[in-house]
C-alpha cells in the first residue's frame, strides 16, 4: 500500500478574523500541508462569515480542508495547535477574535470525547460557517453520531447567520 492510500480521511475547519484573515487562512492551510503525516487532498473556497456567539467583532474568513493523515486524533490536534501557536494565536474568550483557528471537524467515522478533544466537532451540525464549506467539498460525508450526511445536516440547519463566498476583488458579500 502506498503512502497516499494510508491514513484516515479527516476534515479540518480553518478560520480567522484578524490580520488579513484570508492570508492567515491560506498560511495555515500551507502549514498544514507541510506537516509530516498529513496530505491535504483538497480545500473549499474561502467564505466570509458573520460572527456567531460573540457578535461585536469583525467578520471571519472560513474554509474546510479535506486531509488524509496517519496521525492519531490527538497527534493531529497537537500539530494544529503548533501551527496556531507559530502563527501567533492567543487563546482568549470563546468565540472571540482570533488570528487563526484550526479545528478537527471529522476524523474518519471516529467518535472521540475527552477533556482535550471532541470529534466530531460539537458545533459542526449547528453552524452554517462550518457546513457551507464542508458541503462544498464533501456533502456526502456522514456525521458519525447522527448518521446523516453533511448535506442532510445543512438542510435541517437552524442557523440564519450570513455566509457567502469571499470575493478577493473587494466586492461586498451579497448574502
Active-site amino acid positions: 89, 98, 101, 103
* All three cell numbers of 45: 473556497
Using the CB atoms, write b or e for 45-84: b if 16+ within 10 Å: ebbbbbbbeeeeeebbbbbbbbbbbebebeebbebbeebb
Cβ–Cβ < 8 Å for 40, 33: yes
Residues 6 or more apart from 76 whose CB is under 8 A from it? 10, 38, 69, 104, 107
Q: Per DSSP, what are the bridge partners of residue 35? A: none
Amino acid at each position: 500500500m502506498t503512502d497516499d492510500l494510508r491514513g484516515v480521511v479527516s476534515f479540518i475547519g480553518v478560520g480567522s478574523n484578524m490580520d488579513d484573515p484570508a492570508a492567515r487562512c491560506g498560511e495555515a492551510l500551507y502549514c498544514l500541508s507541510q506537516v509530516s503525516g498529513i496530505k491535504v487532498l483538497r480545500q473549499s473556497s474561502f467564505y466570509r462569515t458573520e460572527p456567531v456567539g460573540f457578535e461585536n467583532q469583525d467578520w471571519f474568513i472560513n474554509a474546510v480542508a479535506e486531509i488524509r493523515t496517519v496521525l492519531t486524533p490527538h497527534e493531529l490536534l497537537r500539530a494544529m495547535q503548533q501551527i496556531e501557536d507559530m502563527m501567533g494565536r492567543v487563546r482568549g474568550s470563546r468565540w472571540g477574535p482570533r488570528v487563526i483557528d484550526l479545528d478537527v471537524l471529522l476524523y474518519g467515522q471516529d467518535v472521540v470525547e475527552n477533556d482535550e478533544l471532541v470529534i466530531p466537532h460539537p458545533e459542526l451540525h449547528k453552524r452554517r460557517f462550518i457546513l457551507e464549506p464542508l458541503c462544498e467539498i464533501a456533502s456526502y460525508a456522514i456525521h458519525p453520531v447522527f448518521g446523516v450526511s453533511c448535506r442532510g445536516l445543512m438542510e435541517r440547519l437552524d442557523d440564519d447567520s450570513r455566509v457567502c463566498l469571499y470575493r478577493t476583488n473587494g466586492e461586498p458579500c451579497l448574502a
